[in-house]
Structure 1
Amino acid sequence: MRYILLLFLLLWPVLAFAFPAKVIKISDGDTIIVLTEDKRQVRVRLFGVDTPEKRQARGRQAADYTKSIAALQTVDVQEMDVDRYGRLVGRVTLADGRVLNAELVANGWAWVYQDYCRTTECRAWEQLEQQARAKRVGIWQDKNPQAPWEWRREQREGGRPAEPKKEAAASYRGNTSSHVFHAPGCKHYDCKNCTESFASREAAIRAGYTPCGVCKP
């Protein structure tokens, strides 16, 4: 049974229903509208990735990037799911063979949406995200970009931050070269490449950093 489940996860992107369509509108960085061959308009939420919302910092730039590589292209849409808003959740392959979902992550305009991205391909996308972070491209140009799911939660709660963000003496420092993070007081805390700050140990680990072997944060 375990073997069958593993085989299904490996083949899921291939087995998912796919159809050709033309991209006619970019709603935001991770949502497009396509026109199918039978002239139906379908709203597609990109599978496994999450870009900043339009009213969020870098949101319009993320949408512009999606527009620059996908607008008016004929693409292949692999149907992965339907979300609670009735949108088709899809993996979109561009005319030149690149996967739009992966391109957004690789160029720094999207997070891998780990709560929903659990295929083997998602693990490769996580590596692309780490590379984009290290190169400081797209959203990673900012010191501490806010994940869109956190921004949306704040909006639901009336625009109030769910938890105050404190980066004073309690913050952790991450080495952008080694991807190791250090606690305050560690002899490596102010190293040359320790330019990434995290409000908590959990935030550093979620970002792909590992604890320092000296200070053991």
Structure 2
Amino acid sequence: MKNYRVFFRSVCAGLLLISLSSGAEELSGKVVRILDGDTVELVTVPANVLAYEPPVRVRLNGIDAPEKKQAYGQRSKQYLADLIGGKSVTVSFTKHDRYQRLLGDIVLKECKPECHTLDVNAAMVNAGMAWAYRYHNEATRPKMASLEATARSSKQGLWQESNPVEPWKWRREHH
């Protein structure tokens, strides 16, 4: 049975990699686990497959949340859990990160009683629960940098702290 699961996961991963080569893709599923403020697992159920499908790990694109042991790490994780835990979401993605997680933008659409769509990645930054992700000290997404600046100036979430430590600096010191 264990060999079957390994084989099935390999086949699924291979099919996913093939689909990634054609540009932006989407998948829908139910969020079954929140690992931290910028990483979740979801289960998709393709209509034509009647077999166990392992959870897909998704890293929220364009943001960097505090680590779990860092100040605001647990609050960030809980905020994300409150937003999408156990809910059906859609993920748009183009690639994997170096840990083989899908790097995606998560959208939640709910109709209770009125329909609305939530950009989850942006909501995390807007609430001060994550930073805009930076590469060589430059935000990779201008929208996230703008939301971070607004959250910072209004002292939302982690910006209530006098000197919050960026997750990438915290990781360097603690790993």
Task: Kindly tell me the number of residue pairs found equivalent between the two proteins.
Answer: 139
Structure scoring higher RCO (CA < 8 A, sep ≥ 6) equals: 2
Flag the 1:103–1:70 CA change in 2: closer, same or farther, 3 A.
Answer: same
Decide whether the 8 Å contact of 1:47 with 1:80 is kept in 2: no
Q: Pick from 130, 136, 139 the counterpart of residue 158 of structure 2.
A: 139
Q: Which has the larger radius of gyration?
A: 1
- Which of the pair is proportionally richer in strand? 2
Provide Cα deviations, 1:21-79, integer angstroms capped at 9, x if missing partner: 11011000000000012344101111110000001011000000000011111111111
Task: Extract unaligned runs of 5+ from structure 2.
Answer: 1-22, 47-52, 110-115
Secondary structure of the equivalent of 2:79? helix
Moved over 2 A (4+): none
Alignment of 1:182-197 (within 5 A): none
Equivalent-residue separation in structure 1 for 2:73 and 2:30 (angstroms): 23
1:20 pairs with 2:28: yes
Secondary structure of the equivalent of 1:19? strand
1:66 pairs with 2:61: no
Decide whether the 8 Å contact of 1:49 with 1:117 is kept in 2: no
Alignment partner, residue 37 of structure 2: 29
Alignment of 1:155-194 (within 5 A): 155-156=174-175
Decide whether the 8 Å contact of 1:29 with 1:64 is kept in 2: yes
Give, as a single letter, the amino acid of the residue that structure 1 aligns with 2:39.
T
Alignment partner, residue 64 of structure 2: 50
Alignment partner, residue 112 of structure 1: 132
Task: Extract unaligned runs of 5+ from structure 1.
Answer: 1-14, 157-217
- Which of the pair is proportionally richer in helix? 2
RMSD between superposed Cα atoms in Å: 1.4
Equivalent-residue separation in structure 2 for 1:45 and 1:146 (angstroms): 20
Decide whether the 8 Å contact of 2:63 with 2:144 is kept in 1: no
Alignment partner, residue 123 of structure 1: 142
Decide whether the 8 Å contact of 2:38 with 2:59 is kept in 1: yes
Query: TM-score when scaled to structure 1?
Result: 0.61
Provide Cα deviations, 1:151-192, integer angstroms capped at 9, x if missing partner: 000113xxxxxxxxxxxxxxxxxxxxxxxxxxxxxxxxxxxx
Query: TM-score when scaled to structure 2?
Result: 0.75
Equivalent-residue separation in structure 1 for 2:108 and 2:139 (angstroms): 20
Equivalent-residue separation in structure 1 for 2:68 and 2:97 (angstroms): 20
